[in-house]
Structure 1
Amino acid sequence: MSFGTHAYVPDDRNATAIFNLNGKLVPRDKAVVNVFDSGFMLGDGVWEGLRVHQGKVAFLADHLDRLWEGAAALDIDIGLTREALTDRIYETLAANNMDEGVHIRLMLTRGLRSTPYQDPRVVISDATIVIAPEFKNPDPATASRAQNLYTVSVRRGRPDVQDPGLNSHSKINCVTACIQAIRAGADEGLMLDPQGFVATCNSTHFFIVRKGEVWTSSGDYCLGGITRGKIIDLCRANDIPVFEKNFPLAKCYSADEAFTTGTFAGLAPVGNIDGRKIGKGECGPMVKRLQGLYLDLIHADTAG
């Protein structure tokens, strides 16, 4: 069971799915890591969420770029070439006979430590790489059901505290933001940056539509979202005015439309923020148009 934009259709085939643990294909229930693994012990690692369509991973090059960039920032040696990791991903999909409606969690950690301690010099193994695929389609209602957001008190941090641009396993600020939103009866938390401008949601990126213009945050305090970037590119390619800028929460309340983006569900409309109806409180014409353009882009990327 999942909620909000991450609501999905359960699939019994996942009980017998095959995962890839450091190059070995193992049953889902046997895919375990040591308690001394850096990811389990310290949240020391980075990850990617991938979608599979028509037998191909959508926008794989972009995801690998982000993975390698995150590993470099954390000084983690992946230990594989991009080509070798790509082969490993497709080997895992083949072992599961997966080619459509699949979500992959690709996890990279620094590896095993000899003792519970944060210093990387106590690491005694190669990096841990887990490829966890599932038959996982978004709930079809997500594309039209207007989400409810709640502005949380948890802020996106500065890069000199914990870089919000890293897709790290250390997601505690997003978890606490999510908890606040849940307690407020919302689907997801809307997070502000240290200056009080709108930044992002706790697990998706955020956009508003005002007078035919699409606005999103400056990007200074959010993850470099793959889907976020594709939507910005699509707007520019289709003569839709789009702006990455600082804007206050008040501009959201008076927006014509709002939506979130993410790898799993694509674009999802937002109908309510802090108990205030946004526009007509439903999926609007701009969101519908961008949803269509984004689906076409996915099909084009995975065709052939």
Structure 2
Amino acid sequence: MKIYLNGQLVSKDEAKISVFDHGLLYGDGIFEGIRIYNRKVFLLEEHIERLYESAHAIRLPIPLSPAEMTKAVEETVAANELVDGYIRLVITRGSGSLGLDIRRTSDPQVIIIADKISLYPEELYEQGLKIITASTIRNHPQALSPRIKSLNYLNNILAKIEGSDAGCLEAVMLNHKGEVAECTGDNIFIVKNGVLKTPSTDAGILDGITRRAVLRLAREAKLEIMETTMTRHELYVADECFLTGSAAEVIAVVELDGRLIGDGKPGPVTKDLKSRFEKLTRE
């Protein structure tokens, strides 16, 4: 495996950063998770745009231009000879002192890892997931904007632990108002009476790249779409439910908090959008 580290492709064992890096000390940095399909980086332009928006929001200077970053990602994929895989693109604040002052940091680190990923067992893409609602909520949007894809995922990790303890691979997270936000690593959709519904970005969710792609596919399929406030009750009584994410792709949810969703099987709209998404990844 070759990892891109600040302009060089190095072995996994050689890919090292300072223990004083604020990405390690404080989770001060940003990242993107990106898919590779048939040797092509999927929706790379959208991921790069979001990366630089996150960086700008936290005043983190990236030492490469977007064009240079794009080239670095593509070169890393080629060096690892990946046909299908996953990229983790990380920018840290850089090395500094044992304090919070960003003025005492320097040399932001650019790290690109290209590898394989399997978030869920293959059979669950056919059968659907059973999930729970976590008691850990999403960060308050006035504390940390959910539009920033930062290195600090501790609340998501705590919610993921709750799901794991309950024997589930995912968990729904509510926002500070008690409304449905998203899952620990995925955006969430439901179908009710033929209408596709998903929480709006105002609910405190990450503006997912795969979420955007699925919404575009739904429009092409002439589905009625609502980006709206949602409650757990609406999930319980939905006809269908599914999740989207760069790592997760599109996967059905068939049970939430011990309640079957629909008939307990992936529904027709979910299957159609999953098929459309798979086709999109191979174009």
TM-score category of the 2 structures, normalised to the smaller one: over 0.9
Compute the displacement of 1:286 (Å): 0.9
Instruction: Tell me the distance in 2 between the aligned counterparts of 1:274 and 1:295.
Output: 29
SS at 1:163 equivalent: coil
Report the counterpart of residue 115 of structure 2 in structure 1: 134
Specify the alignment match of 1:10 in structure 2. Answer: none
Structure 2 counterpart of 1:282:
265
**Code of the aligned partner of 1:116:** L
Q: Residue type matched to 1:260 in 2?
A: L
AA aligned to 1:23 is G
Distance 1:66 1:277 in 2: 36
Counterpart code for 2:151: H
1:137: Cα distance to partner?
5.1
Code of the residue aligned with 2:274 in structure 1: it is: Q
Question: Which residue does 1:191 correspond to in 2?
Answer: 173
Matched, 1:61 2:12: no
**Residue of structure 2 in register with 1:3 after alignment:** none
CA contact (8 A) 1:102 1:137 kept: no
On the 8 A contact 1:259/1:287 being kept in 2, the answer is: yes
Distance, in Å, in 2 between the alignment partners of 1:251 and 1:89 is 40
**Structure 1 length-normalised TM:** 0.89
Task: Give the deviation of 1:228 after TM superposition.
Answer: 0.6
Matched, 1:215 2:191: no
Alpha-carbon distance in 1 for matches of 2:158, 2:188 = 18
CA displacement at 1:214 relative to structure 2: 0.9
In structure 1, what is the Cα distance between the partners aligned to 2:38 and 2:169? 30
1:227 to 210, 214, 236: 210
1:253 is displaced (CA, Å) by: 0.7
Q: Could you tell me the TM-score, scaled by structure 2's length?
A: 0.96
Which of residues 131, 134, 137 in structure 2 aligns to 1:152?
134
1:264 — aligned with what? Answer: 247
Aligned partner of 1:44 in structure 2 is: 28
Is the Cα–Cα contact under 8 Å of residues 186 and 248 in structure 2 kept in the other structure?
no
Alpha carbon RMSD of aligned pairs, Å?
Answer: 1.3
Code of the residue aligned with 1:50 in structure 2: it is I
Give the AA of the match of 2:211.
R
Q: How far is 1:85 from its partner?
A: 0.9
Partner of 2:101: 119
1:8-32: per-residue Cα shift (whole Å, max 9, x none)? Answer: xxxxxxxxx1111111111112212
Q: Which letter maps to 2:23? A: G
Q: Which residue number corresponds to residue 244 of structure 1?
A: 227
Question: Counterpart of 2:19?
Answer: 35
Aligned to 2:274: 291
**One-letter amino acid of the structure 2 residue matched with residue 55 of structure 1:** R
Cα distance in 2 for partners of 1:137, 1:206 equals 19
Letter of the 1:143 partner, please give it: Y
The unaligned stretches of length 5 or more in structure 2 are: none
Q: Is the 8 A contact 1:177 1:202 kept in 2?
A: yes
Contact map agreement 1:259 1:270 (CA 8 A) in 2: yes
- Residue 76 of structure 1: which of 56, 60, 67 is its match? 60
Query: Residues 183-234 of structure 1, C-alpha deviation per residue, up to 9 Å, x if partnerless?
Result: 2222211011111111100111111111111111022201110001111111
Q: Which residue of 1 aligns with 2:10?
A: 26
- How many equivalent pairs are there? 281
Question: Matched residue of 2:271: which SS?
Answer: helix
Q: Which segments of 5 or more consecutive residues in structure 1 lack a partner in the other structure?
A: 1-16
* Percent pairwise identity: 35
CA distance in 2, matches of 1:218, 1:96: 37
In structure 2, distance between residues paired with 1:42 and 1:264: 25
Cα distance per residue 1:66-116 (max 9 Å; x no partner): 100000000011011111111111221222222x21111000111111x21
Q: Residue 103 of structure 1 aligns to a residue in which SS?
A: strand
Secondary structure in 2 matching 1:160: coil
